[in-house]
Structure 1
Amino acid sequence: MSKRHLYLLAFSIIAIACAAMYYKWSVLKFPLQPDAQVQVWTVQAHVEYQPRAAANAVTLQIPSYTPGFAVLDERFIARGYSKLESSSPEGREVQWANRRVVGEQDLYYRATIVRSQEQEQALLDFDPVIPSPPELEEPYVTAADSLLLQVREGSINNVTYARELLRRLGEATPSEEVALLSERYGADESDRAYFAVQLLARRSIPARVIHGLQLTDEPREGEGRLQPWLMVHDGLAWTIIDPRTFAEGLPSDLFLWSSSDRRVLQMESEAAASLMFSVSRNLADAMAIAERRLEVQDANLVRYSLLSLPLQAQETYRVLLMVPIGAFIMLLLRNLVGVKTYGTFMPVLIALAFRETALVAGVTLFVLVVGFGLLVRFYLERLRLLLVPRLTAILILVVLLMAAVSVLSNRLGLEVGLSVALFPMVIMAMTIERMSVAWDERGAGTAIREGVGTLIVAALAYLVMSWRPLEHLVFVYPETLLVLFAFALLLGRYSGYRLNELFRFRALARDPDPITPPPSPADATDTASSGKA
């Protein structure tokens, strides 16, 4: 297989892995840091009313389309009331009903909200229906027609017509027509917006009122205010206008509460009711919020991922996913640097044991166990035992030594020594055996160098594998291992010098001393003549 094919395969794997990681980070909002936090808002709607009859029904419009935000959780609090949720193309609503109510009543709706990049365009897909014009009598008919005629002179299309109408209705010093009409529609912002829709209907302009809360990034808590916005259809699409600033477009900090043409709060009885909002902003764990957001948007993305596993299994995979990281570090140190070790994956297993004992204590325990095992191994060599019985004897002694160290550490009050039992016993026994064989065949220097190399690789692998940001990154983005896989493929064809070989053979890289050429015959004759002279 040619190198070009290998390079193409490796770079394709890297591109796929990076694309998957970017999608998780930019779209699914998976955090890159383990302690990352995101802003979360808790919005509460409080309905308070004094019933005038025994049976009462309360209807509240609740969020449905929330462009720029995602509703993670909802709570309905209404003691003694039945609850009925219903959805329509225009939005959602909840109806509370109770046959017997006495005294002041309090009903609550609470939602947990987080920012989202998804912009739902379904909000602007309403049919441009023209509502029924208001039934006005004189002198309101004349005032409305006069006002609409003045608005027409200052506009060029439906959008500018609606903006000019809102501007005139909201003037601090209103005209005579607006002052007269204000007696009909009232001075409230919401009432003024609904009356603007009715006036636009007299000119066959489709319009409707939506309500929302502005959620700022400032860490404040208190009462919120539900504000109206006006939607006007220009013949092609809907345009949103702010009745206060007359700006077009949906603000980025606006949480759309209701897009229905109905009132936000409706009472079947004639009881006087009030609707109050409170908003609190908090910081929450970004990973938990990302999981909850996925459950709301697409539960399958969570069901078929590591996040769906039980917590105990997740903790296990947090460790297992770090094993390839340690193996890649060992690959770099062996193939590029030239560090000699005992075995291929033995340093990685020792590094896993260091996660329980910490680095210094783990190295100390490793040296003690291996040193004592070597002494026993040299003694067993005199008995001329076969390989399998000798390994079994060494394993038994290693286990007894671990138990002795644990008991002694417990008596001394050292918790570090209790973790020695987590060392892989078979690996320890094989390390002792391989180190003793290397001692006999290649000398003590080679055996000690390979033992030191094993500890160096294990220590470096432990430092990297225990780095919490990297552990979080590999668990949340397992595609990272595909990048290591691609680099392992590329390094698999490397057959050049290692760093330690460049150091060992540095003398060959120096320029040799120039060799003096022998003298020519003419030079030899001149030299002899000058000697005779």
Structure 2
Amino acid sequence: MFMESANPTINFFLNEGVPFETVILILMLPIIATFIAFLRQVVGIKAFGIYTPLLITFAFLATNGLKYGIVIFLAVILSGMLLRFILKPLRLLYLPRVAIMLSLVALIVLLMLTLGGNLRRTGLASVSIFPILIMITLVEKFVAVQIEKGNKTAIILALETLLISIVGFYLASWEALIRIIVAEPWLVLLTLPINFFLGKWTGLRLSEYLRFKEILKKQ
């Protein structure tokens, strides 16, 4: 339904054998990345950097519905938290400990998918390996933040990552935006000057305005 107004550039990619979904997702990547950068630099939502929420967004797009992606995400985070506390008394070195956690989280996710199939949740049971692997690797990032900054910060960053990824999912699924990209793919290049502007941003973030609102009022 988007092909009626497709730009010749889009048609060229399609004629060369590149799938339409792949073209759209690749063109969406700069937009989602810019959106995440805006949230971080201007709004003050940190999340797990820019790379992780970007990957989670595309993992959500690859699942059989956003709800299943969220379920897997939360299962991975909760499993990671639980396993860290279980393994902590063993005083293992970082990399072997993370390897054990990744292995156990993978098994937990497998059991969850099996349970989904048993409960006739075929959408959950048939989630492809790509989004599952992406979200399982989130465990390492989560554990690293837990060690460096504590549980509270790790949980907050995980929830911020989830929030950004959900918004990114809806942004990438927005039909109006897809139509614009299909019709005028060159507009994606506008993300470059936008990011240049964000890179020069020196003002207070929105979250900082809210945090220091009382102090700013006194000035």
- TM-score tier after normalising by the smaller chain length: 0.7 to 0.9
CA 1:510–1:361 in structure 2 vs 1: closer, same or farther (change >3 Å)?
Answer: same
The normalised TM-score by structure 1 is: 0.38
**Residue 286, structure 1, aligned to residue 4, structure 2:** yes
**1:340 corresponds to which of 39, 46, 51:** 46
**Residue 474, structure 1, aligned to residue 181, structure 2:** yes
Give the alignment of 1:353-432 within 5 angstroms.
Answer: 353-355=59-61, 356-417=63-124, 418-419=126-127, 421-425=129-133, 427-429=135-137, 431-432=138-139
Structure that is richer in helix per residue: 2
- Which amino acid letter does the alignment assign opposite residue 465 of structure 1? A
Aligned residue pairs total 217
Give the alignment of 1:51-130 within 5 angstroms.
Answer: none
Alpha-carbon distance in 2 for matches of 1:422, 1:493: 35
**1:323 corresponds to which of 19, 26, 29:** 29
Q: What residue in structure 1 maps to residue 199 of structure 2?
A: 492
Deviation at 1:434, TM superposition (A): 3.0
Alpha-carbon distance in 2 for matches of 1:352, 1:308: 24
**2:215 corresponds to which of 508, 524, 532:** 508
Partner-residue secondary structure (3-state), 1:286: helix
**Residue 451, structure 1, aligned to residue 158, structure 2:** yes
Counterpart contact for 1:333–1:339, Cα < 8 Å? yes
Alpha-carbon distance in 2 for matches of 1:458, 1:421: 18
Alpha-carbon distance in 2 for matches of 1:511, 1:343: 33
The gaps in structure 2 that reach 5 residues or longer are none
**1:465 corresponds to which of 134, 154, 172:** 172
Counterpart contact for 1:321–1:475, Cα < 8 Å? no
Deviation at 1:505, TM superposition (A): 0.9
Deviation at 1:321, TM superposition (A): 1.7
CA deviations 1:375-428 (Å, max 9, x no partner) are: 112222322222222222222223222222222211211122121633252553
- Which amino acid letter does the alignment assign opposite residue 487 of structure 1? I
Alpha-carbon distance in 2 for matches of 1:348, 1:453: 12
The gaps in structure 1 that reach 5 residues or longer are 1-33, 36-284, 292-300, 513-533
- Which amino acid letter does the alignment assign opposite residue 416 of structure 1? G
Alpha-carbon distance in 2 for matches of 1:506, 1:315: 45
- Which amino acid letter does the alignment assign opposite residue 337 of structure 1? V
Q: What residue in structure 2 maps to residue 109 of structure 1?
A: none
Alpha-carbon distance in 2 for matches of 1:363, 1:427: 10
Alpha-carbon distance in 2 for matches of 1:432, 1:478: 35
CA 1:474–1:306 in structure 2 vs 1: closer, same or farther (change >3 Å)?
Answer: same
Partner-residue secondary structure (3-state), 1:322: helix
Alpha-carbon distance in 2 for matches of 1:302, 1:456: 33
Partner-residue secondary structure (3-state), 2:19: helix
Deviation at 1:500, TM superposition (A): 0.4
- Which amino acid letter does the alignment assign opposite residue 345 of structure 1? Y
- Which amino acid letter does the alignment assign opposite residue 4 of structure 2? A
The normalised TM-score by structure 2 is: 0.86
Partner-residue secondary structure (3-state), 2:204: coil
Counterpart contact for 1:402–1:420, Cα < 8 Å? no
**Residue 438, structure 1, aligned to residue 156, structure 2:** no
CA deviations 1:469-491 (Å, max 9, x no partner) are: 31232244221111111211111
Counterpart contact for 1:340–1:449, Cα < 8 Å? no
Deviation at 1:368, TM superposition (A): 1.4
Counterpart contact for 2:106–2:136, Cα < 8 Å? no
Counterpart contact for 1:365–1:420, Cα < 8 Å? no
- Which amino acid letter does the alignment assign opposite residue 347 of structure 1? P
Partner-residue secondary structure (3-state), 2:185: coil
Deviation at 1:452, TM superposition (A): 1.1
CA 1:396–1:475 in structure 2 vs 1: closer, same or farther (change >3 Å)?
Answer: farther
- Which amino acid letter does the alignment assign opposite residue 49 of structure 2? G
Partner-residue secondary structure (3-state), 1:419: coil
Structure that is richer in strand per residue: 1
CA 1:403–1:427 in structure 2 vs 1: closer, same or farther (change >3 Å)?
Answer: closer
- Which amino acid letter does the alignment assign opposite residue 172 of structure 2? M
CA deviations 1:5-37 (Å, max 9, x no partner) are: xxxxxxxxxxxxxxxxxxxxxxxxxxxxx55xx
Alpha-carbon distance in 1 for matches of 2:117, 2:75: 17
CA 1:427–1:286 in structure 2 vs 1: closer, same or farther (change >3 Å)?
Answer: closer
Alpha-carbon distance in 2 for matches of 1:335, 1:328: 10
Q: What residue in structure 1 maps to residue 20 of structure 2?
A: 314
Counterpart contact for 2:60–2:169, Cα < 8 Å? yes
